[in-house]
Structure 1
Amino acid sequence: MSTAALPSDNGDVSADHPPGHIVQNLTRFGELLRRLGLDVGSGNILDLIRATEYVHIGRRGEFYQAARSILLHRKQDIPLFDEAFSVFWRKPKTGSTTMDLRSMGEPRRFRKPQVSPGRDSDVDEGLAGGGELDEDAVQQVDLTRTYSAQEVLREKDFSRFTGAELAEGRMLISGLDWDLGQRRTRRLAPGAGGDLDLRRTLRLNLKYGGELLELASRAPKEKPRSLVLICDVSGSMERYTRMLLHFIHTIAGGLDQLEAFLFATRLTRITRHLRYRSIDQAINEVSRAVPDWAGGTRIGDAVKTFNYQWLRRVLRGQSVVLIISDGWDRGEPELLARETSRLQRSCHRLIWLNPLLGSAGYQPLTKGMQAALPYVDEFMPVHNLNSLGALAEHLSQLGPERSPDRIYRPIRTPAPEPEPEPAPQPADRPIDRIRPMLPPTFRHPMWGKNP
């Protein structure tokens, strides 16, 4: 294909490229657009040919605008048209080329990049030789200078998230599978079980004249487990609060049976505020409903309020309870231990999520954590997106029974055994010096007589 006069970026037709078959090139350009999926007909090409009488074809910008206004009909085709225009109407190395028109765009769009370890010496040698980078060359990917933004975000602590990262983290959380499994109810449904369904058995055997030839059975009905979230929004948890509210709002949209509570010094139910589709509106409503936001922390009082006011109302059978707190408590440790033990006996699993557990040197040394940990089934971190992924995977693998070996027990040093006390020595009394084998030698005259 002999090349037509190519439009330059800022000027007229170059003298090195004399005018050629412009009509033939415009026709082939239209054929290229049709192969790429654009709706370009012969009438559009004729209109573009007539437009060249009024548009200076030597100016690239004017020719591009004319071709775009005539050949494009849909907004979504603009990026494809721009790429085809830049590839077809580029300045070739030589005066003519025999390369297939469609293949001119293929190397850049479909060819797999060659992966090789990057070396600065190769780039320096190319620049030192005065050569220019060939835009037709295969793209070289430098492994030493590439990274995954999502992987970095997954490892980043929630306390250092920016506004844009909060939105991206919310999208990643929504992609997780929050499946809590099924729970067995007391109701029976038709199924393969050990209980005989007499009513269905009689109905099935009517066709046999009343002879019991087919037996129908019943099995316990299964329903999805419910999730209860009790989140700490006190001052010590303030840097994690917003991301945790994003987490609660996201999983609330994916689970049918979810109850959410916030606490600092008192407990507040926020389940109905999570029904807003907008996360900003939901957070505004929640902040208005919680009077003790970023205040002190009384975990024991909050758990006691839940046990006495909400436990029988929101725990539907084998529910999973998540307590999200750092364990800093200003209340009584004995109260927290007693109420945590009561809550564990009433639910299927009690999982404590601590954002500080993600730190390398963290140890649960606070009195609140030490009081609650003996009654917690799992103690897990919740400081980044990877920890949330591990939580989702753990919830999907919950068994029907609580496993005793999964219960977290704090390591306690055994108390030293007390030394045995020496036996008390009898006191040196005068009466102890009397030999017991000798009978008394004196008896009162009135001994044994009534007065």
Structure 2
Amino acid sequence: MDQNIAHFVRVLRRAGLRIGPAATLDCIEASRTIDIGNRVEFYHALASCCMKNPEDRLVFDQAFQMFWRNPRLMEKMRDLLLPSLTREVDGDGEEDPNLRRVDEAFGSAAEPDPQQDERESIEIDMSMTSSATELLQTTDFQMMSTAEIAEAERAIDAMRLAFPTRPSRRFSPASSHGRLSFRRTLRRMARQAGMPLPAHEKRQQRARPIVVICDISGSMERYSRMLLRFAHALTQRRGTVHSFLFGTRLTNVTRQMKDRDPDAALRAVSASVEDWSGGTRISSALQSFNRNWSRRVLGQGAVVLLITDGLDRDEGGDLGFEIDRLHRSCARLVWLNPLLRFDGFEPRSGGVQTILPHVDAFLPVHSLESIRQLSDLLQRDMAPGWRSQTLASWHHRLHDIQAEQTAGGGIG
């Protein structure tokens, strides 16, 4: 039984659940304290050790049903050569993307039929080209299968990214446009026997530094990992990128992100962060950043990417003061919130209402398409006073909600 439980935990890990070797020991210990013949008790014992987030329940339920439904199945899993299993679904129903990770963990991909004719094979190949790629662009990271996540990571690594720019103090020669350069004009006159030939110059553009402050709490786990992939791709370009992670504490991972291999960089980041998939203390993390790092990394017109869902659990912090200080210290503050993937999202939580008035852009970050939109935004000219066009509508909605809450007796 202990070996079967270890195999089951490995299947859950392959399906995308963030559990380690300690979960195997916990499951074995929990199974010894219950009636092993009671399926309900056995289910809840394993669930209490393996499910870290509410989103894991659907994957766990499906894996539990498929793994433990046939006692003879255990004998065939000694070396993890899992058989192909199929789930009974309605013919007209649409398959839940969450459950595809379980199928892949069990190795349920059907073998190609050698009797298929050549014409049918060509049709299948053609259907998986442009349409599958377009669908992947808009698929939520939380709904992606393991293979789709790997494909999305490769797409992020291949993106052509550009840094936002700012005017420099230096000037470069211009052909005909720009301001008149008296120094270059005098030099040209000296070479042309005193003939006054005007020379023009234009101001150079320099890349702005980018500072990434990413929430790695349990509710942000899948999104933070994909955004770290994006931050790594930015770091490999010519420019300055500083990366910070926070859950219950702030961690500087800039040095780890400089590794050219994205997988090695993320492994180094995981090893250096102690509060991954834990709680969320936004105000304390911003206070630590403002006190210890803001003067070091927010010079030269830096752009800050704040990646969080805004669900602050820090009761003793002053989130309003810290986010206002951060906004005043940087050139632009862009808030990336995966909750914007929901069409009915409204700024009703206290953390969202506190942060929203102090940002220059409020954007979703849940798919490849949203990351491409972020990349396009960073290439725009962020002149003084710049703000996202969609921000005004969020401010109007926030004002209406606060008025409703005030009339109803406070924030619910």
TM-score normalized by the length of structure 1: 0.55
Residue 380 (structure 1) shift: 0.9
RMSD (CA atoms):
3.3
CA offset digits 1:141-175 (Å, max 9, x no partner): 59998782222322222123333322211221233
Residue 321 (structure 1) shift: 1.3
CA distance in 2: counterparts of 1:237 and 1:285, whole angstroms = 19
- In 1, are the aligned partners of 2:361 and 2:388 still within 8 Å (CA)? no
Hey, what does 1:388 align to over in structure 2? 371
Match of 2:185 among 198, 201, 205: 201
Q: Which structure 2 residue ranges, 5 or more long, are not aligned?
A: 1-114, 407-412
After the TM superposition, which of the residue ranges 161-170 and 228-237 deviates more from structure 2? Answer: 161-170
Give the share of equivalent positions with the same residue, in percent. 39
1:412 is aligned with what amino acid?
H
1:369 and 2:369 equivalent?
no
CA offset digits 1:15-44 (Å, max 9, x no partner): xxxxxxxxxxxxxxxxxxxxxxxxxxxxxx
CA distance in 2: counterparts of 1:333 and 1:195, whole angstroms = 57
- In 1, are the aligned partners of 2:215 and 2:246 still within 8 Å (CA)? yes
Q: Using a 3 Å threshold, how does the CA distance of structure 1 residues 400 and 146 change in structure 2: closer, same or farther? A: same
CA offset digits 1:357-395 (Å, max 9, x no partner): 102332222211110000111111111111112222222
2:236 alignment partner, SS class: helix
Larger radius of gyration: 1
Equivalence map 1:108-127=2 (5 Å): none
- In 2, are the aligned partners of 1:202 and 1:212 still within 8 Å (CA)? no
- In 2, are the aligned partners of 1:348 and 1:402 still within 8 Å (CA)? no
Residue 193 (structure 1) shift: 4.1
CA distance in 2: counterparts of 1:289 and 1:297, whole angstroms = 18
1:357 is aligned with what amino acid?
L
- In 2, are the aligned partners of 1:358 and 1:381 still within 8 Å (CA)? yes
- In 1, are the aligned partners of 2:362 and 2:388 still within 8 Å (CA)? no
Equivalence map 1:259-408=2 (5 Å): 259-332=242-315, 335-404=318-387, 406=389, 407=391, 408=394
Hey, what does 2:224 align to over in structure 1? 241
Q: Using a 3 Å threshold, how does the CA distance of structure 1 residues 195 and 319 change in structure 2: closer, same or farther? A: farther
2:398 is aligned with what amino acid?
I
After the TM superposition, which of the residue ranges 327-336 and 309-318 deviates more from structure 2? Answer: 327-336
Residue 342 (structure 1) shift: 2.3
Hey, what does 1:411 align to over in structure 2? 398
1:252 is aligned with what amino acid?
T
Equivalence map 1:148-297=2 (5 Å): 148-191=131-174, 193-194=178-179, 196-198=181-183, 200-209=184-193, 211=194, 213-297=196-280
After the TM superposition, which of the residue ranges 332-341 and 350-359 deviates more from structure 2? Answer: 332-341
CA offset digits 1:267-306 (Å, max 9, x no partner): 1111111122323321221112122222221112222222
Residue 136 (structure 1) shift: 9.7
- In 2, are the aligned partners of 1:184 and 1:223 still within 8 Å (CA)? yes
- In 1, are the aligned partners of 2:361 and 2:387 still within 8 Å (CA)? no
1:150 alignment partner, SS class: helix
Hey, what does 2:16 align to over in structure 1? none
Residue 242 (structure 1) shift: 2.6
Q: Which structure 1 residue ranges, 5 or more long, are not aligned?
A: 1-132, 419-451
How many residue pairs align between the two structures?
Answer: 283
2:398 alignment partner, SS class: coil
- In 2, are the aligned partners of 1:234 and 1:294 still within 8 Å (CA)? yes
CA offset digits 1:401-427 (Å, max 9, x no partner): 3335733414323759x9xxxxxxxxx
1:201 is aligned with what amino acid?
T
Residue 334 (structure 1) shift: 7.2
1:194 is aligned with what amino acid?
R
CA offset digits 1:101-130 (Å, max 9, x no partner): xxxxxxxxxxxxxxxxxxxxxxxxxxxxxx
1:254 alignment partner, SS class: coil
Hey, what does 2:44 align to over in structure 1? none
Q: Using a 3 Å threshold, how does the CA distance of structure 1 residues 405 and 353 change in structure 2: closer, same or farther? A: closer
